[in-house]
A and B are shown apart, each in its own frame.
Chain A
Amino acid sequence: MTADDRDWADDYRDCAEALRDLQFHLDAELSPDEAARLVAHIEACPPCAVEEDDFRRLKEAIRRHGSAVDQTVVARLRARCDDLLADPTAD
């Protein structure tokens, strides 16, 4: 038992260890057991819960930002492909 009398038997040594696993968890790279262990810690640890929320929102913001392709650019690139196919012996 730890000094605060909570049962951390299945918990991490410290939050640094949990936060390392958090990154893997965000990318679904933990096993189900590892993920359950981390989730249990996060649910009981407000600072780590804040970290989890921050990084999850960051990952989602990156995904949205990086996925937003200008379709007019894509159209011009496709037109370039058409030009290359139309005259493959050019250049």
Chain B
Amino acid sequence: MTDRPETPTGVAERSRRFEELIVPEVDFLARVTRSMSRSGAEAEDLAQETLVKAFRALDTFDGRFPRAWLYRIARNTAINRDDRRRDVLLDDGGDIEGTLTPADESDEPEHRVLEPILDDVLENALDDLPPEFRVAVQLVDVEGMRYQEAADFLDVPVGTIMSRLHRARHRLRDALAGSHLDRAADDGTAKGGSAEEAEA
């Protein structure tokens, strides 16, 4: 970014690019920041901050992959947020365990369209995934990316995406055992135990 005052033309161009490249990705940003956060409120704060940073830094963006660019801003913002939180907790000198409260569910939307019980169980299971696993799940299962697309998006090898995604799914399936996804409990069908263990 430059320290020189922006010209009227520069301001207009930045606004035009923001409307063209960033505003259409607001829904994507809402989804992906939710996958990075422990609550809806935290996710919205992250999305808001990402939009402001994107607007300020737009002259550094080549315009080629808006979603990937927004994702990187959000991810770095989330990392800094988590670092600040950890620093505050450490500097506080108080009871860290006591301050690490679970995600505040009171601000969650009332109008969920999914089955409530499974949705809560799934949300908790997703929250328990390592962040890199959760983003692989988000990009492939929610955003519908192919493995190579997701790998390019995150700038990792395609084998890394596959490994994270498949391991995440096994963890989620294990966490959801006992919910209505567990067919074995419903109809007594035995699962291939040795095959599962080998896969894990």
Contact = CB atoms under 8 A, between A and B. Distances in A.
Genuine A/B complex: yes
Interface in A1-21: 14-16, 18-20
A77 B30 contact: yes
Interface residues of A, number: 44
Contact of A77 (B18, B26, B126, B140): B26
B85 to A, nearest CB: 21
Interface residues of B, number: 60
B114 A88 contact: no
Contact of B26 (A23, A65, A81): A81
Determine chain B's interface SS by DSSP, over half rule: helix
Contacts of A47: 189-192, 195
Determine chain A's interface SS by DSSP, over half rule: helix
B147 interface: yes
A88 B55 CA distance: 8
Contacts, number: 138
Given A58-B172, A62-B172, A84 B196 contact: no
B12 to A, nearest CB: 8
A14 B195 contact: yes
A27 B145 CA distance: 9
Interface in B26-83: 26-27, 29-31, 34-35, 40, 43-44, 47-48, 51-52, 55-56
B172 A84 contact: no
A78 to B, nearest CB: 6
29 contacts: A15-B195, A23-B166, A23-B169, A47-B190, A48-B192, A50-B191, A54-B183, A58-B173, A62-B122, A62-B126, A65-B126, A66-B35, A66-B142, A67-B142, A68-B113, A68-B114, A69-B31, A70-B40, A73-B30, A74-B26, A77-B29, A80-B52, A81-B26, A81-B51, A84-B51, A84-B55, A85-B18, A88-B15, A89-B11
Interface of A: 14-16, 18-20, 23-24, 27, 29, 46-48, 50-51, 53-55, 57-59, 61-70, 72-74, 76-78, 80-81, 84-85, 88-89, 91
* A-B pairs, 4 with minimum CB distance: A66-B142, A15-B195, A47-B192, A16-B198
